[in-house]
Structure 1
Amino acid sequence: MSVQPSSGPSPSEVLTVPAGDFAVIHNWSELLYFFNHTLPECHMEFSESTKRVVLFVLYLAIFVVGLVENLLVICVNWRYSGRVGLLNLYLLNMAIADLGIVLSLPVWMLEVTLDYTWLWGSFSCRFTHYFYFANMYSSIFFLVCLSVDRYVTLTNASPSWQRHQHQARRALCAGIWVLSAIIPLPEVAHIQLVEGSEPMCLFMAPFESYSTWALAVALSTTVLGFLLPFPLIAVFNILTACQLRGAQQPEGRRHCLLVCAYIAVFVICWLPYHVTLLLLTLHGTHVSLHCYLAHLLYFFYDVIDCFSMLHCVINPILYNFLSPSFRGRLLNAVVHYLPKDQARTGGRTSSSSSSTQHSIVITKEGMQPPRHALPGPNFQAAALSPNTSPISAPQSLLSS
């Protein structure tokens, strides 16, 4: 089984060498030979060609489905950005970040097909990895902001928050993009095109401090990409679920299940990737893995990395397509671009549906609002405006 020092769009597959063996290794060529022929000594038969086919199919499926879904989310939320819920700003930016990840997939598909040979030059080697990393962090950070902000919107009715929430959300989104653009720089600075009969795009930190750099990169990726975001996502989603159960609304159980799904999807997509990355990084210098386990991790690392990208497909479904308000806006957008004779028929249906929904909102607004109102599946505050009074702010979440 051939082992590559890095592969795919993930943080480089960091390989480390037992300290006692550094004395006989003097350059990168000898190090790569060591990886491919002597680490570990046990032997396992895996089909690299089968893995390449599976990876290509997975990348292609994620690319096609993710491209369609995220483009629809961006188009719909952009079209109605000034007339729907305030939390839509996070959904729009998260869809843009996920779309960026999806657009990088054709490069990884071709790299896998060519057995990790890089044919697109030194600049694209660094830029493609940087583009992927920046969008990966952005997607995760926007998901954290969405989890926190919808709980704040559900529970906070202070006049100060009502007045400044527009500006605060825009500033926060801008800050996330800037932060996500800075975080990958130390790693990307050490990604190089290694020339040879088969040029490869690899993580090439200084040889003398390679293990230290590899560990620093892996730890920063895990801390910023999972250990910090996950507690925030889990805690605020659980708090939101508690608020929904306390509201005792008819659909409270359904929304609680959605909140649980938000947490579960994040864990399923990202936990296997970060555990594998850390084990491979620590192997040899800090921990000693059984040789068969090491073989399995090295072989399936690319598959696990590809599996983590499923969030680009699942996020649009969980946070957008399961929302009745989003499906209504999507239908209106489709009707808008239909030929006029078809649009008239669709427009009459949409108008009737809109008037009915509007009547429901008016009826609810005329009633005394409960202490905690029940938001829609994507918790968009459609009717919430800077002038909304404190007592009606939670109830206005119902109209999303």
Structure 2
Amino acid sequence: MSAAGPGPSQGPPAGPASEPGEIHNWTELLYFFNHTLPECHVELSENTKRVALFVLYLAVFVVGLVENLLVICVHWRRAGRAGLLRLYVLNMAAADLGTVLSLPVWMLEVTLDYTWLWGSFSCRFAHYCYFVSMYSSVFFLVCLSVDRYVTLTGASPSWQRHQHRGRRAVCAAVWVLSALVPLPEVVHIRLVDGFEPMCLFVAPFETYSTWALVVSLSTTILGFLLPFPLIAVFNVLTACRLRRAGRPEGRRHCLLLCAYIAVFAICWLPYHVTLLLITLHGTHISLHCYLAHLLYFFYDIIDCFSMLHCVVNPILYNFLSPGFQDRLLKAVVHYLPKAQAREGRRASSSSSSSSSTQHSIIITKEGIHPPAAGPHLHPSLNFQAPNTPPTSAPQSLIAS
């Protein structure tokens, strides 16, 4: 069984092993433990579960694909501008898109009752791509939260001169780290030939519990226990800074920052708690029989629910921005016929003016008045450092 991510590891238990020494994978291990503990019967429909999973996967795939493609298309032409957090948002959208593109595989696997029909290489490669996308999306959220606060509080002169190069280096480091972290788990994922071929996390029986615990703990530590405090702390610090600024829009920005924290916790906390409980059950802790059955049954659904970040992230970090809405409208108008394009430009100009007066905000250090004019800014926190022309914007911070 894969310790993290979707896959056949959540399939129905395999047949019993005649001897404990013959147990070679997670499903056989679970069957062994379940039949050495007092039995209990829980009536749960696997067919209903498969239908629900297919619908959830399909919904996340369709909506996430459209949203993240739009985000990438809109930001791609402006990714080269220095001093913008848009680079993190662009890379995060690429990571979420990678997760979304893996969903058809899991959809088909669920439909086929966790039978894997695509060979040994694709078994490992599909899981590896999913893990890389998952970790990189989380790490880019951390980078965005930290960099936003650092820019707001006043970056060092050295960072101001080299900020674009520095952000490029950070993004490259995130991708390299995300590519390395899943390797210990992926090397143990194999195509197991039985009555039906299944893609499983396989380790020697003598060291299986150790490997499963190490993989699960590393997934939880790197995917939640370290990122979540950083995201929460730096967003709270940013919110406190905005409240002290005393601007009318500060409350709305603070609520948006709280939404960043809440969405991350809602998407990932149930998944990691369930993952750890399943991993520890039978070898390190003993769960009640009914609770164990419920955890194994709903693990797939909780795992699928965690993928909602691919749908929510584009909304929070992009589609709520009047600036992004304006750029998206211009991109759409660009591909319309000329007669419609002229009308669209007038509507875009009117919408841009309204967004600038009603929603945009430039936040400066206390006691400094903002420039008289500036670019369209993101309601999810755009900061203009004092005494910096908006056109050059070496310290400007635009989230999308």
TM normalised by structure 1 equals 0.87
Aligned to 1:108: 106
Runs of 5+ unmatched residues, structure 2: none
Residue aligned with 1:104, SS: helix
**1:399/1:130 Cα in 2 relative to 1: closer, same or farther (>3 Å)?**
closer
Q: Which residue of 2 aligns with 1:344?
A: 342
Counterpart among 379, 382, 398 of residue 381 in structure 2: 379
Measured in 1, the distance between the counterparts of 2:8 and 2:268 equals 13
* Segment drifting more, 97-106 vs 157-166: 157-166
Q: CA deviation at 1:158?
A: 3.2
1:255 aligned residue: 253
Mapped partners of 1:315, 1:31: distance in 2: 33
Contact between 2:9 and 2:27, CA under 8 Å: does it hold in 1? Answer: no
C-alpha distance in 2 between matches for 1:53 and 1:398: 41
Distance 1:196 1:23, change over 3 A: closer
Structure 1 unmatched ranges of 5 or more: 16-20
Q: Distance in 1 between matches of 2:399 and 2:300?
A: 43
Give CA deviations for 1:54-102 in whole Å, capped at 9, x if unaligned: 0000000000000000000000011222458610000000000000000
**Aligned partners of 2:399 and 2:109: how far apart in 1?**
47
| Post-superposition CA distance 1:287-318 (Å, at most 9, x none) | 11001100000010000000000000000000
Partner Cα distance (1:220, 1:121) in 2: 27
Matches within 5 A, 1:90-239: 90-239=88-237
After superposition, what is the alpha-carbon deviation per residue over 1:166-221, rounded to whole angstroms, capped at 9, x for unaligned? 11100000000011001101100000000122110000012220000000000000
Distance 1:344 1:350, change over 3 A: same
User: Sequence identity of aligned pairs in percent?
Assistant: 72
Relative contact order, CA 8 A, sep 6+: which one is greater? 1
Structure 1 window deviating more from structure 2 (103-112 vs 35-44): it is: 35-44
The number of equivalent residue pairs is 385
SS of the residue aligned with 1:119? coil
Contact 2:191–2:199, Cα closer than 8 Å, also in 1? yes
Question: 2-side partners of 1:125 and 1:307: how far apart?
Answer: 22
Match for 1:292 among 290, 293, 315? 290
C-alpha distance in 2, partners of 1:395/1:169? 13
* Offset at residue 30 of structure 1 (A): 9.5
- Cα distance in 1 for partners of 2:83, 2:48 equals 46
Change (3 A) 1:355 1:63: closer
- Aligned residues of 2:274 and 2:299 also touching (Cα < 8 A): yes
Residue 319 and residue 104 in structure 1: after superposition, are their counterparts in 2 closer, same or farther (change >3 A)? Answer: same
| Inter-partner Cα distance in structure 2 for 1:306 and 1:146 | 25
The 3-state SS of whatever aligns with 2:117 is: coil
User: C-alpha separation between the residues in 2 aligned to 1:399 and 1:204?
Assistant: 42
Task: Give, in whole Å, the separation in 1 of the partners of 2:399 and 2:291.
Answer: 52
Separation in 2, partners of 1:153, 1:119: 49
Residue pair 1:44, 1:292 contacting (<8 A) in 2 also:
yes
Q: Distance in 2 between matches of 1:30 and 1:154?
A: 50
> Hey, which bits of structure 1, 4+ residues long, moved more than 6 A?
4-7, 355-361, 392-395
**Letter in structure 2 aligned against 1:62:** V
Cα gap change, 1:355/1:378 in structure 2, threshold over 3 Å: closer, same or farther?
closer
Q: Is the contact made by 1:111 and 1:117 (CA closer than 8 Å) also made in structure 2?
A: yes
Deviations 1:13-43 (A, max 9, x none): 699xxxxx99941213798456346265211
Tell me, in whole angstroms, the C-alpha distance in 2 between the residues paired with 1:11 and 1:271: 22
Letter in 1 for 2:193: E
Q: Which residue in 1 is equivalent to 2:23?
A: 28
Two-structure CA RMSD over aligned residues (Å)? 3.5
Match of 1:38 among 25, 35, 44: 35
The reply on whether 1:369 has 2:368 as its aligned counterpart is yes
Counterparts in 2 of 1:239 and 1:190: CA distance versus 1, 3 Å:
same
TM-score computed with the length of structure 2 as normaliser: 0.87
